Amino acid sequence: MTAAPDGGKTFGRDVPRMEDRPLVTGRGRFVDDIRMPDLLHAAFVRSAHAHARILGIDAEAARRVPGVAAVLTMDDLRPHLSGDRLVTALPSPSFRLDLHRPVLAFEETAHVGEPIAVVIALSRYVAEDAADLVEVSCEALPAVEDCRAALAPGSPVAHSSAAHNLVAEFHLGYGDVEAAFAGAAHVFREKLWQHRGGGHSIECRGLVARHDPVDDLLTVWSSTQTPHPARQILSDLLRRDPDRIRVVVPDVGGGFGPKLVFYPEEAVVAAAALLLGRPVKWIEDRREHFVATTQERDQYWDVELAVDADARILGVRGSMIHDHGAYSARGTNVPYGAAAAMPLPYMVPAYRLDVRCAATNKVPVTPVRGAGQPQGVFAMERLLDRAAQALGLDRDEIRRRNLVPAERMPYATPLKTRGGMQVVLDSGDYPGCQALALLRAGWEGFAARKATARAAGRRIGIGLANSVEGTGRGPYEQVRVRVAADGRVRVATGAAPMGQGTRTMLAQIVAEQLGGDMANVDVVAGDTAAVALGFGGFNSRQAVVAGSAAHAAAIAVRTRVLAAAASLLEASEADLDVEGRTVKVKGSDVTIDLGAVARAAAGLPGFAVPGGQPGLDVTESVVIDEMAYANASAVAEVEVDAGTGTVTITKITFAHDCGRVIHPGLVDGQVIGGIAHGIGNALFERMGYDADAQPVTTTLGDYLLVTAEAIPAIDLVHMSSPTALNALGVKGVGEAGVIPITAAVASAVEDALDDLGVTITGMPLSPAGLLARIRQATTP
Amino acid sequence: MKPAPFVHHVPRSLDEAVEMLARVAEDDGRILAGGQTLVPTMALRLARPSHLVDINTIPELTRIEVADGALVVGACVRHAAFHRPVEPGPLGALLATVVRHIAHLPIRTRGTMCGSLANADPASEWCLVAETLGAMLELRSVRGTRTIAADAFNLGYLETALAPDEMLAFVRLPLLPATTRFGFEEVSRRAGDYAQAMALAVCEIEGGVMRAVRLGLGAVEGKPRRLAEAEALLEGARPEPDLFRRAGAVASGLAEPVEADEEVAVYKRHLAGVVVERALLRAASIATDGSSHEIIRGVP
Ligand SMILES: Cc1cc2nc3c(=O)[nH]c(=O)nc-3n(C[C@H](O)[C@H](O)[C@H](O)COP(=O)(O)OP(=O)(O)OC[C@H]3O[C@@H](n4cnc5c(N)ncnc54)[C@H](O)[C@@H]3O)c2cc1C
């Protein structure tokens, strides 16, 4: 492979996003925009109980409603499926219970919102009317709400078939932790509660499934982040050749993690379309999204930090309990990601975190943007703040002493990824990044500003947090690049855009090699018909893995273009370049259209193929196993209203390094969006359940999403340490913004209240909770 | 989130509306005003009215004018009508200040003042204004017209004195003397959210002392209330921060939040004092300690 382009024709430039024109002119096509004759609509009958035994389902009244085509339960579907459960969790030796989701609940329901039956009708209105009439008789069983109580002896069980609630347990670590703590000058301990909510993309989930009998093809248009895996699961479940299934991702109004999971509704709607011989649509509404789409929720951390007399870290240890929800929909990657993220930016000689995942009667937990990493960072940064405070050190100083220095890169940590590979921090200047953030934030001068504000009766504070994030999860993402007979460059992949500008990113990489004209590139993404293999969008991976494959394929196609053109023009390849839609002999007027080259390269019967290789068409799957580590330093400024407990974030300074930047505007957008998400996690988002595991925040009136007015001025600072792990030198950025925000905000709020000694040990902050702490500190 | 089936009625006049309402009242027929509360409730199927009498096309209900010393507001006047003062005196300014705390702009362009009063949410800003200023409400039905005071109308937590066949046609807000000052303070989680606590202070300052003091507290109890004890403390006194703090303490002492959660109840009782104190500081034009954030909404 040739070296990566840097600030090229299209690579590295703020080219207009190719997604924007259709979207802003109302020509986007989301799944609910897909209409077709004979379309039926689905509504699900869902469990009202957190935990109950199903005694019987009476759908007769519902079936009699005019306009109802079918009411299906597991008993109706079972004969048509290979099994009655979705086995989708990533493998892990840590599992102690197999909790696979039923396609539709039969025997027992394990969380409110679990689908029990589906009504298929002429309209969603009729379907909902009929769904109201389906009688599910249930016997309520004791529900498990709190993940800590779930692990206590004598707790009720979340599944009556299970002997206990310990879904999985594992530890992560290395080094002699006991010795590190035995020899420590100081030890600090924090007990932390961390909560994150759901993904809450503007567009909820949804799909349309249609079987075409002419070519026996089941097409599923789904608002999913993972089309190829979805096709495989459907193929297994429906016992249908994967070539006879096409999963297509139309425009997607946000994913944020939960849409990477395959859901019961997808299986049921696809099966219903086959059974009924008519297309079926299901569009998840917001209330369903709260009770049926996966979330992240509670983690309880109990962690300790050991340092020497100079505040250098000797070891970190502790335990964490993770709310796993009712089923294993993805695996243990959220707690694993949290545990793995905790020590990463720092030199931590010994580490051990014991993690237990508890089954609860709540929606399954799977990754939301950040996937546990914000929690790990929060735990580490809280400990460092506590140590700095106790030792009389500045918060930036204790970090400076412990950050992995730039000179030690690549830095092999003793940690392992979930796939068992060693974690090697490939590149970056973490202390430099922190210094840059502090400089831009005016950290030095803040004490004076704070004193002035305090004198005027205002409480302002500043806080800092560092994070390092594993990006570009492998092993690969397949990309096909070709020059078509019309001269257009076609890019096809299973990589799944959900609003991040993936098409633009891929087109930039390909156009860089093939003429530099963005308008001449078409990208088909998120379509299983586009390429044979794929994964999709998650774990800040697509620029790294799909980008690398696109780069390799584009270079290979370029080589073929030049070879074929050289033969056609009777010129030397070295004298040729692709410019716009033509191949040109450098320094002359001699050109040939890309289309003409493509036609010639397709060959003629009985003639030699110009350039020797047929077709300007190459598919690449560049395998990248190692993750590329991106890093960030966030500084938050807040103002605390001590009368009401309200925290207002007044400024965020964010310095980060995602390697070589493909599109500055897209990177800014991803980082800012992540920061907004982090602010929501710090101040607003809370998925509430009562003691019986009934959800209590099931509308956007009760569940507080971050709104534009809570977003302060954001100052972004970019550093660029290209990684050697891929030819482009890029690292992922989709999750970067969110990861250090709760930690930085907590630090800032403590700073604003430093004279009161109020400590922040949980997220999100609630005004009532914070006020209670303030009043506790101020009333003698 | 699709509503259950219902019949949509579109009357042309107020008389026709009350006739239709009388016919469908038995059958859980309801008035549809801005729909900003009713429609989401129907989409969640928490309300299943079988008939809606849609008053949005009745010209006489868009009436907003000053008559007989009061501002008359018809049932179709939207919140957004108050973004700019609807009359030149202090009442117009007060309404223009308060309206910015109601929901978000798109909701304010649909939701109505009378709909808010009829809905009687404990955290409704208009209910607090009506209670504090002593608004009079004109109710219509085929049985006739009756006028009752806001305090008698609002029975607490989504309950009103409206009979099933009655509608609120007009509300009359008494004009305020030109020298009236007011202060409004609200605490909510996010801009546009319902209040967690709010207070409205209205007074005149004559010869350095406060007169005609009205102090209302909202969003803490089942319905907004005047704080007579605190008003008495303030009446005839000099506007001073210490006094306002004491008035706040009185409000905290009086407030009886209707919250099941003890932490929230404690919090609301505390907030009652904070909003009362800050509303008084605003009324007296004494800058608050700067820690309260007046949030500027996107208002054209
Ligand atoms: C996201 C959101 C945030 C909001 N925030 C706030 C807020 O901060 N503060 C606030 O006060 N409100 C808030 N609201 C509510 C909004 O102000 C509503 O518009 C208002 O409560 C009801 O007015 P409406 O005209 O929309 O009434 P509708 O929704 O049409 O009706 C509400 C109820 O009142 C009845 N009704 C309406 N008009 C009459 C009438 N003239 N006579 C008899 N009965 C009648 C209806 O039958 C129905 O039962 C919010 C709403 C939303 C969706």
Each domain of chain B, given as residue ranges in start order, spans: 7-53, 61-174, 180-285
Report pLDDT for A91. 86
Q: What are phi and psi of A478, to 5 degrees?
A: -80, 140
Please report the DSSP string for A531-588 in residue order. -S----S-TT-HHHHHHHHHHHHHHHHHHHHHHHHHHHHT--GGGEEEETTEEEETTS
Q: What angle do CA A297, A300, A303 make, to 5 degrees?
A: 140
A605: Cβ contacts below 8 Å, ≥ 6 apart: none
Q: Is some CB atom of chain B closer than 8 A to the CB atom of A163? A: no
Give the sheet arrangement for strand B225-226, strand by strand. Answer: B180-187, B197-206, B209-218, B225-226
pLDDT mean over A179-188:
98
Q: Which 3 state secondary structure label does DSSP give A628?
A: strand
Nearest by CB to A457, from B189, B264, B290: name it: B290
Q: How many CB contacts within 8 angstroms connect chain A with chain B? A: 77
pLDDT for A527-552, tens place per residue? 999 999 999 999 999 999 999 999 99
| Weakly modelled stretches of chain B, pLDDT under 70 | 286-300
Residues A226/A535, Cβ–Cβ less than 8 Å:
yes
SS3 content of chain A, % helix, strand, coil (to 5): 30, 25, 40
Instruction: Note whether A599 and A606 are within 8 A (CB).
Output: no
Q: Does B245 touch chain A (CB under 8 A)?
A: no
Distance B32 CA to ligand 1 centre (A): 9
Closest ligand 1 atom to B33 CA: 30
> In whole angstroms, what is the distance from residue A542 CA to residue A562 CA?
28
Residue of chain A nearest B2, judged by CA positions: A125
Quick check: A4 pLDDT over 60?
A: no
Beta carbons of B267 and A645 less than 8 Å apart: yes
Q: From chain B, pick out residues whose CB is under 8 angstroms from the CB of A704.
A: 189-190, 193
Supply the mean pLDDT for chain A: 96
Quote the tokens at residue A357.
């995942």
CATH topology of domain B61-174: 3.30.465
Nearest to A104 by CA among A252, A201, A237: A237
Residue type (1 letter), A345: P
Tokens of B169: 């046609």
- Residue A725 CA to residue A723 CA, distance in Å, equals 5
What integer is the mean pLDDT of A585-602? Answer: 96
Pairing of strands A489-493, A521-524: parallel
Tokens of A419: 């796939």
Q: What is the mean pLDDT of chain B?
A: 94
CATH number attached to the domain at B7-53: 3.30.43.10
Question: Does the domain formed by B180-285 have CATH 3.30.390.50?
Answer: yes
Q: What is the 3-state secondary structure (H, E, C) of chain B?
A: CCCCCCEEECCCCHHHHHHHHHHHHHHCEEEECCCCCHHHHHHCCCCCCCEEEECCCCHHHHCEEEECCEEEEECCCEHHHHCCCCCCCHHHHHHHHHHCCCCCHHHHCCCEHHHHHHHCCCCCHHHHHHHHHCCEEEEEECCEEEEEEHHHHEEECCEECCCCCCEEEEEEEECCCCCEEEEEEEECCCCCCCCCEEEEEEEEEECCEEEEEEEEEECCCCCCEECHHHHHHHCCCCCCHHHHHHHHHHHHHHCCCCCCCHHHHHHHHHHHHHHHHHHHHHHCCCCCCCCCCCCCCCCC
d(CA A409, CA A613): 42
- pLDDT attached to residue A420: 81
Pick from B192, B264, B295: CB nearest A768: B264
What type of residue is B207? G
Among the partner residues A457, A707, A767, nearest to B291 by beta-carbon distance: A457
Per-residue model confidence as pLDDT tens digits over A259-297? 999 999 999 999 999 999 999 999 999 999 999 999 999
Q: How far is the CA of B40 from the centre of ligand 1 (A)?
A: 10
Distance from the Cα of B41 to chain A's closest Cα (Å) equals 11
Q: Which residues pair with A315 in a beta bridge?
A: A306
In angstroms, rounded to a whole number, what is the distance separating the alpha carbons of residues A209 and A270? 5
d(CA A259, CA B146): 56
Task: Give whole-number Cα distances, B109 to A311, A444, B77, B93, B104, in Å.
Answer: 58, 47, 9, 19, 9
CB A662 within 8 A of CB A505: yes
Provide the Cα torsion B100, B101, B106, B110; round to 10°: -90
pLDDT value at residue A6: 58
C-alpha dist (Å) from residue A454 to A101, A275, A448, A641, B259: 54, 69, 10, 12, 34
Backbone angles phi, psi at A151, to 5 degrees: -95, -5
**Residue B38 alpha carbon to ligand 1 centre in Å:** 7
Q: Is A287 on the interface with B (CB under 8 A)?
A: yes
The alpha-carbon gap from B101 to the nearest alpha carbon of chain A, in Å, equals 14
* Dist. CA A325–CA A319, nearest whole Å: 19
Instruction: Classify residue B161 by burial, with Cβ atoms within 10 Å: 0-12, 13-18, 19+.
Output: middle
CB A545 within 8 A of CB A624: yes
Say what the alpha-carbon torsion angle A496, A501, A506, A511 is, to the nearest 10 degrees: 150
Cβ-Cβ contacts under 8 Å, B278 against chain A? 643
B116 lines ligand 1 (CB under 6 A): yes
- Which among B4, B196, B263 has CB closest to A129? B4
Q: How far apart are CA A762 and CA A769, in angstroms?
A: 10
For residue B3, give the chain A residue with the closest CA. A125
Q: What domains sit in chain A, N to C, each tagged with a CATH number?
A: 37-141+205-283 (3.90.1170.50), 295-399+406-472+625-778 (3.30.365.10), 474-620 (3.30.365.10)
Q: Whole-model pTM? A: 0.96
Q: Is the CB of B32 under 6 A from ligand 1?
A: yes
Q: Which of B44, B289, B295 is the closest to A457 by Cβ?
A: B289
At residue A186, does pLDDT exceed 90? Answer: yes
Please work out whether the CB of residue B273 comes within 6 Å of at least one atom of ligand 1.
Answer: no
β-pairing verdict for A313-325 and A351-359: parallel
Q: What span, in angstroms and rounded, lies between the C-alpha atoms of A281 and A263?
A: 15
Residue B267 contacts A where some CB pair is shorter than 8 Å: yes
The pLDDT value recorded for residue A544 is 95
B41 Rama sector, left if φ>0, alpha if ψ -120 to 50, beta otherwise = alpha
Q: Please, which residues have CB within 8 angstroms of residue B258's CB and are 6 or more apart in sequence?
A: B122, B157, B221, B222
Average pLDDT over residues A454-461: 96
Among the listed residues A780, A756, A776, the one whose alpha carbon sits nearest the alpha carbon of residue A640: A756
Distance in Å, alpha carbon of B189 to nearest chain A alpha carbon: 8
User: Of all residues in chain A, what percent carry a pLDDT higher than 70?
Assistant: 99
Three-class DSSP category at A387: helix
Mean pLDDT of A626-655: 97
What's the gap in Å between the CA of B120 and the closest CA on chain A? 18
Cβ proximity of B63 and B57 under 8 Å: no
Q: How far apart are CA A695 and CA A687, in angstroms?
A: 8
Average pLDDT over every residue of A371-398: 98
> pLDDT per residue over A676-733, tens digit each?
999 999 999 999 999 999 999 999 999 999 999 999 999 999 999 999 999 999 999 9
Contact across the interface for B267 and A768, Cβ inside 8 Å = yes
* Sign (positive or negative) of CA dihedral A498, A501, A505, A507: positive
**Residues 6 or more apart from A768 whose CB is under 8 A from it?**
A645, B263, B264, B266, B267
Question: Are B290 and A456 within 8 A, CB to CB?
Answer: yes
The strand pairing partners of B159, in sequence order, are B156
Half-sphere exposure of B124 (CA within 13 A, CB side): 30
Residue B45 touches chain A, beta carbons under 8 Å: yes
Instruction: For residue range A152-169, list pLDDT tens digits in order.
Output: 999 999 999 999 999 999
Q: What is the DSSP string of A454-523?
A: HHTT-EEEEEEEEEEEEE--SS---EEEEE-TTS-EEEEES---SSS-HHHHHHHHHHHHTTS-GGGEEE
Question: Which residue is associated with the tokens 């101020």?
Answer: A778
List, for residues B8-47, the tens digit of each pLDDT value.
999 999 999 999 999 999 999 999 999 999 999 999 999 9
User: Residue A7 — pLDDT band, cuts 50, 70, 90?
Assistant: low
Smallest Cα distance from B269 to chain A, Å:
11
Q: Crossing angle of helices A395-402/A430-441, nearest 10°?
A: 160
Distance CA A48, CA A51 (A): 9
Q: And the tokens for A358?
A: 């508890």
Interchain CB distance below 8 Å, B291 and A642: yes
Residues in CB range of B203: below 8 A, 6 or more apart: B180, B181, B182, B210, B211, B212, B213, B214, B234, B283
User: What is the reported pLDDT for A2?
Assistant: 39
